[in-house]
Amino acid sequence: MHGSTSPEWLLVALCAVTGAYCLLRTRSAVAEQRRAAGAEALMGFGMAAMAVPATVVAPPDWAWGVCALVFGAAAIREGWAARAGGHHLHHLVGTGAMVYMAAAMSVSPASGHHGHGSAAGPPGVTGVLALYFAGYVLWSGARLVPAPTVVVGSGGGRGSVLWRDRVELARACRLSMAMGMLAMLLMR
């Protein structure tokens, strides 16, 4: 499997599909779902773009700086929103990890793409981030055990839950992004 780009394409697919589902979740009837879904869609698509094998598309040197700026702005937004709830802290760590990886890739763009050498960056920071995301994967995976879901419809009777409002699908989305982030950190 040495030299194969198959794992990278699987990571691209996982992140892109997750980003697309999160984008669809922005149409949820639940306000908190909508707010979280936009940030998660940005993360999914950003991770997919960063995971594209460098042998296929070698981004220009300035692209990593743009990624760092975009995710830096997202980190500031999540930091501000973290005052209201703990879930935003996870988004803050995720956007911070994206800034870290983009900055590391901009330092050594020739070898910075995942799986193609190692990007410059303190291994301690990579290790701490990898431990965080490994713990998050285990924690969120354990929470995926489905609970019975009953929603009261507008007429007072029992209704069905729309796919974009299902809590377990949102959790699966976050789990797959955490697995993708862990894989990206380990492939550095």
Q: Any idea which residue has 């779902």 for tokens?
A: 33
Instruction: Give domain status of residue 105, yes or no.
Output: yes
Angstrom distance (rounded) from CA 96 to CA 43: 11
Domain limits at 124?
Answer: 6-187
Structural domain count, the chain = 1
Helix (H) or strand (E) holding 152: strand 151-152
CA distances for 5 relative to 10, 15, 47, angstroms: 9, 15, 16
* pLDDT at site 115: 41
Instruction: Give domain status of residue 102, yes or no.
Output: yes
Instruction: Give domain status of residue 162, yes or no.
Output: yes
Instruction: Give domain status of residue 47, yes or no.
Output: yes
Instruction: Give domain status of residue 129, yes or no.
Output: yes
- pLDDT tens for the chain, 188 residues long, are 345 678 889 999 999 999 999 998 888 877 777 878 888 999 999 999 999 888 888 888 889 999 999 999 999 998 998 887 777 788 899 999 999 999 988 876 554 444 443 445 688 999 999 999 999 999 998 888 765 555 545 544 455 667 667 777 888 889 999 999 999 998 86
Angstrom distance (rounded) from CA 137 to CA 42: 19
Instruction: Give domain status of residue 39, yes or no.
Output: yes
* Contact predicate 112/64, CB 8 Å: yes
DSSP-derived secondary structure letter, 145: S
* pLDDT at site 55: 83
Instruction: Give domain status of residue 1, yes or no.
Output: no
